Amino acid sequence: MTALWLFVVVALVVALAAWLQSRRNARQLAEVTQMFWQLKFDHGELKAKVDPHEPVAAAPKSTFVPLSSIKKS
């Protein structure tokens, strides 16, 4: 009977340690995720400051060419 209680206590200690480790991992994951998105945002801002704003190229004008004007060879 003592061995059974000893097994139960060891199992509870292991379960408590696993639960604490999972909470620690969840907290670290949340922190790393927040740091990732902050870095992505900062990179976008810095890229916008560094990249020169190129003027938008004018759209090519479409011209009508009648088929009769094309010379046949």
Q: What is the pLDDT along the chain (73 residues), one digit of tens a residue?
A: 899 999 999 999 999 999 999 999 999 999 999 999 999 999 999 998 887 777 777 777 888 777 777 776 5
Let me know if residue 46 belongs to a domain. Answer: yes
Let me know if residue 27 belongs to a domain. Answer: yes
Structure confidence at residue 11 (pLDDT): 98
Alpha carbon distance 65, 72 (integer Å): 14
Structure confidence at residue 1 (pLDDT): 86
Structure confidence at residue 73 (pLDDT): 57
Let me know if residue 72 belongs to a domain. Answer: no
Let me know if residue 40 belongs to a domain. Answer: yes
Let me know if residue 32 belongs to a domain. Answer: yes
Let me know if residue 7 belongs to a domain. Answer: no
- Domains in the chain: how many in total? 1
Pinpoint the alpha helices (H) of 1-73: 2-50
What are 22's two structure tokens? 């999972």
Let me know if residue 71 belongs to a domain. Answer: no
Domain that holds residue 40: 23-51
pTM greater than 0.85 (yes/no): no
